[in-house]
Amino acid sequence: MLGPSRASVAPCYCRRRPAPAHPHPRMTEITVAVVAALLGGGVAWLLATRARTTDAELEARARSAEGIRDELRRQLADKDGQLEALRKTLEDEARARTEAQTRLDQAREGLRDQQRLVEETTTRLTDTFRALSADALKSNNQSFLDLAKQSFESIVAETKGDVGKRQEAIDGLIRPIQETLKRYEQQITAMEETRQRTFGGLEEQLKHLSASQGQLQRETGNLVKALRTPHVRGRWGEMTLHRVVELAGMAAHCDYEPQVTISGDDGRLRPDLLVRLPDNRSVVVDSKVPLDAYLDALEAEDEDHRRDALARHAQQLRTHMTQLAAKSYWEQLPQTPEFVVMFVPGESLFAAASEVDHALLEDGMARQVVMATPTTLIAVLKAVAYGWRQEQIAENAQAISALGRQLYERVRTLADHVEEVGRALGKAVAAHNRAVGSMENRVFPAARRFKELGAASGDDIPTVEPIEQAPRLFTDLDKS
């Protein structure tokens, strides 16, 4: 018998599947950085242009741009979360693939070892059988050759069977790994396609946002150019003032008179608005729109130029206040409170001036000039409108009182007439009853004798009943 044989496995040559290309982390970070920079630039530009918005349409578009920016920021945060999840999934899949590849390499190394073992065993068996053959030839022992041949075939059959089983076991181990890697590759491909579509949509939205910002910037520039024109600036202030009056319920046909001319010692004065108060009182409102220095401050490139422009803006407002106080409108209009309202058609205009000149409001009050923005002027005009409503209610109450007295007198006169009619009806009833009595007692008996004597025919003379119900008279109205 030969010594124990070592089973070996035939070598297995498997082609290694190339790993799928993963998105470069550096490229993803650059994309996120570019998107963040674009969003940051858009936000910074929106914040910078927000201060320039002095028109309702511009503010609405700025709010729309901010809404788009917030929506894009939210979408970017969602995409970042999805990208982070994809990155983690890719890392897990790469780690699993590395482990599977390691196991596969180990299995291949084992196969190579088994292959070397089979080759060594085959070599030893060949040498052994060659020696046995030589001995058999020498001894001319055919039976020994047959036995050796049977032993060799048995060993080879066992070796082949063991190799087949090992190959099947290795295939069973590798097949799930290959299927898992294939699924991972499909998922990675699908996620990469989803990521490309998502970032493509985000890039398209960023292009639309950039185009909208460019259009908004051009329109803002046109608005700034228009507001630097004195005529357009004055028209804008007048429209804002009229809009404030309409919002407060002070319509032109009943509560205010625009463009009133007042004759004074210094010539003809033309306030922008004269608000009528109850009891023939009035309040003068003058609109001022200093915008040149304010627009320069918005366009300033550094803080020093901005402070200088705001200082000029505050000085312009103070100059308008001084000139308005010198007109003394309350001296030209009778029963007018000793102050005039200086209307500034923008909250930001007054706030910017107050930021530099803190005593602007107090000095204006000392000069009988009340500075008002659209918000404060609406509150003042609503108070005036409430006073007008109370005045109208009082006038209506007086008219109702006079109408009540007049109605009472007319009802009293009508009651007298009805009472006279009742008394006349009573007299008529009394006369009717007397006539009936006279007819029953004197006329009808004589007339009935004609029928009894055969001088008349036909129906009998009916009985005439007297009227028993007298007309009702009024009671004393003063007591009732």
Give per-residue pLDDT as tens, 190-211: 887 887 777 777 777 777 777 7
Higher pLDDT pick, 38 / 293? 293
Per-residue pLDDT, 433:
83
How far lies 111's CA from each of 8, 15, 43, 55, 272, in Å? 8, 15, 63, 82, 102
Q: What's the mean pLDDT in 35-61?
A: 59
Q: What's the mean pLDDT in 90-103?
A: 79
Per-residue pLDDT, 19:
43
Higher pLDDT pick, 162 / 453? 453
Residues 342 and 372: beta-carbon distance below 8 Å: yes
Q: Given pLDDT bands bounded at 50, 70 and 90, which one contains residue 13? A: very low
Q: What's the mean pLDDT in 297-318?
A: 86
> pTM above 0.85?
no
Q: Given pLDDT bands bounded at 50, 70 and 90, which one contains residue 272? A: confident
Give the lowest-confidence range in 165-174, 289-298, 375-384, 385-394.
165-174
Per-residue pLDDT, 125:
65
Q: What's the mean pLDDT in 433-456?
A: 79
Per-residue pLDDT, 382:
86
Q: Given pLDDT bands bounded at 50, 70 and 90, which one contains residue 5? A: very low
Q: Which tens digits make up the pLDDT trace of 239-262? A: 888 888 888 877 654 445 555 566
According to DSSP, the residues that pair with 284 across neighbouring strands are: 274
| pLDDT exceeds 80 at position 135 | no
Higher pLDDT pick, 207 / 428? 428
Higher pLDDT pick, 112 / 160? 112
Residues 237 and 287: beta-carbon distance below 8 Å: yes
Per-residue pLDDT, 3:
41
Q: Which tens digits make up the pLDDT trace of 468-479? A: 777 776 665 555
Per-residue pLDDT, 161:
59
| pLDDT exceeds 70 at position 402 | yes
| Angle between helix 25-50 and helix 142-227 axes, rounded to 10 deg | 10
Report for 27-31, 46-50, 166-170: range of highest mean pLDDT:
166-170
Long-range CB contact pairs, 421-424, < 8 A, 24+: 422/471, 422/472, 422/473, 422/474, 423/473
In this structure, are strands 267-269 and 262-264 parallel, antiparallel, or unpaired? Answer: antiparallel
Per-residue pLDDT, 159:
60
Q: What's the mean pLDDT in 288-303?
A: 80
Torsions phi, psi for 465 (to 5 deg): -85, 140
Per-residue pLDDT, 28:
59
Q: What's the mean pLDDT in 83-104?
A: 79
Could you give the percent of the chain with pLDDT greater than 90? 0
| pLDDT exceeds 50 at position 268 | yes
Per-residue pLDDT, 306:
86
Q: What's the mean pLDDT in 77-87?
A: 77
Per-residue pLDDT, 381:
84
Q: Given pLDDT bands bounded at 50, 70 and 90, which one contains residue 16? A: very low
Per-residue pLDDT, 1:
38
Please give, one letter per residue, the 3-state secondary structure of the chain. Answer: CCCCCCCCCCCCCCCCCCCCCCCCHHHHHHHHHHHHHHHHHHHHHHHHHHCCCCCHHHHHHHHHHHHHHHHHHHHHHHHHHHHHHHHHHHHHHHHHHHHHHHHHHHHHHHHHHHHHHHHHHHHHHHHHHHHHHHHHHHHCCHHHHHHHHHHHHHHHHHHHHHHHHHHHHHHHHHHHHHHHHHHHHHHHHHHHHHHHHHHHHHHHHHHHHHHHHHHHHHHHHHHHHHHCCHHHHHHHHHHHHHHHHHHCCCCCCCCEEECCCEEECCEEECCCEEEEECCCEEEEEEECCCCHHHHHHHCCCCHHHHHHHHHHHHHHHHHHHHHHHHHCHHHHCCCCCCCEEEECCCHHHHHHHHHHCCCHHHHHHHCCEEEECHHHHHHHHHHHHHHHHHHHHHHHHHHHHHHHHHHHHHHHHHHHHHHHHHHHHHHHHHHHHHHHHHHHHHHHHHHHHHHHCCCCCCCCCCCCCCCCCCCCCCCCCCCC
In this structure, are strands 369-372 and 340-343 parallel, antiparallel, or unpaired? Answer: parallel
| pLDDT exceeds 50 at position 446 | yes
Could you give the percent of the chain with pLDDT greater than 70? 65
Q: Given pLDDT bands bounded at 50, 70 and 90, which one contains residue 77? A: confident
> What is the average pLDDT value for the chain, to the nearest integer?
73
Residues 461 and 445: beta-carbon distance below 8 Å: no
